[in-house]
Amino acid sequence: MFTITPHPVVPADGPERSGLARLWYQLGPGSRRRHARARAEAQRLTLLQERWQQACHHIGLGLMIYTPSGVVVAVPRVARADFSPPVSFTVSLRPGQGAADLEAAAPRLARALGVAGLRVDELAAGWVNVVVVEAWDAVDLGVDRGNRGNRGYGGVGNDRPDDGPWPPERRVA
């Protein structure tokens, strides 16, 4: 048996839908718009996760784990994100790490992420909610990746850490 699923967009909330209702949701009116919105959100989340991982590794929140195949750096992981103002995301902490560790590193994390400030709120044991206190440049969230210029590092003048080329973009299939 096979199913017709041109893209993995399914209703996020509400009651469980029948097969015909799911097919209508995936192929009916507005399905291309829903698919494009879901794809853009997935790209923004992937970019945020990548930048968060680099920032945590850069400021020393990562734990080096030695394996037979090499060294791996374990950092707190971004589980989900809400990109509506204010931008906020939920982070799963490493074992033994507390919200106080992220609160202490918030100013350095904000500078590494290229934002004005971060607020860390503890949700439960091992989970925190990170809220971007001041405006976050839309370019950094993957909305417009064409002309990057010097935006994302304060947005004023040439204050990028280096003038080297940007790293390649990560695409979500």
Task: With beta carbons less than 8 A apart as the criterion, state whether 73 and 67 touch.
Answer: no
pLDDT digits (tens, 9 = 90+) for 43-52: 999 999 999 9
Question: How far, in Å, are 37, 49, 62, 81, 109 from residue 84 at the CA level?
Answer: 13, 17, 28, 9, 20
Cβ atoms within 10 Å of 156's Cβ, excluding its own: 8
Amino acid 29: pLDDT: 84
Name the CATH topology of 23-141: Threonyl-tRNA Synthetase; Chain A, domain 2 (3.30.980)
pLDDT-flagged residues of the chain (< 70): 1-15, 135-173
pLDDT digits (tens, 9 = 90+) for 47-82: 999 999 999 998 989 888 899 999 988 999 999 999
Q: Is the dihedral of CA 95, 99, 101, 106 positive or negative?
A: positive
Cβ atoms within 10 Å of 92's Cβ, excluding its own: 13
Amino acid 164: pLDDT: 52
Amino acid 8: pLDDT: 52
Residue with tokens 């509506």: 84
Amino acid 35: pLDDT: 86
